[in-house]
Amino acid sequence: MICVLATSCMSLVITVCVLQMYHADPKTPVPNWITVMVQCMGTATFQKRNLQKFRLAMPTKERKPEKNGPVMNVYQNTLHENSMLSVGVNELVENEKGNANESNNSMASILKEQNKILREILATNKEKANNLEGIASDNQIAWRLASEIVDNFFVVLFFIIIIVVNILMLVVMPQVKKYFE
């Protein structure tokens, strides 16, 4: 009975701690002691993939934290590449318009169609970038990964505790019952 109460109490306290980590201020970097604790917990529970993500999200001396995080940068790079392609196609279409003959007309129509497709891609990527504008900074991603690793560690720990306590109860209770008879 006391074991169940203690486990429930610990679960509540750890849940509050994990939620505090998950919703930590994105401007606050993860302290070194939490980084060490998270790496130990992740190693103990074989969370190799989460640990790799956590290490990548942690800013180093060489790589300062990015304003919009790595996800936002991917879309910004895509936007830049697509806008450069669009500019190049526009120039080709304009050049083709000046040299209008039958073979160039077909080429110009193809280039116009490609330009139209590129503009649609660009518009789609702009929408995605606008949707991701509020996405986390590197610090916030690191905090969330740290909370996930800590949460997974304690899930495994509580599972092991519950299994061990139940096995002990199954083994010890018959012994106690014989003693009192």
Condensed to tens digits (0 to 9), the pLDDT of residues 112-125 reads 888 788 788 777 77
b/e for 35-73, b at 16 or more Cβ within 10 A? beebbebbeebebeebbebbeebbeeeeeebeebbeebe
Global confidence as pTM: 0.55
CB 146 within 8 A of CB 54: yes
133 has a pLDDT exceeding 70: no
Q: What is the pLDDT of residues 9-33, one digit of tens each?
A: 988 999 999 999 999 988 888 898 9
> Tell me, what's the pLDDT at 75?
43
Q: What is the pLDDT of residues 29-67, one digit of tens each?
A: 889 899 999 999 989 988 888 888 888 877 665 555 455
Pick the most confident of 76-85, 121-130, 148-157: 148-157
Average pLDDT of the residues in 74-102: 51
- Domain range summary for the chain, segments of one domain joined by +: 1-65+137-181, 66-136
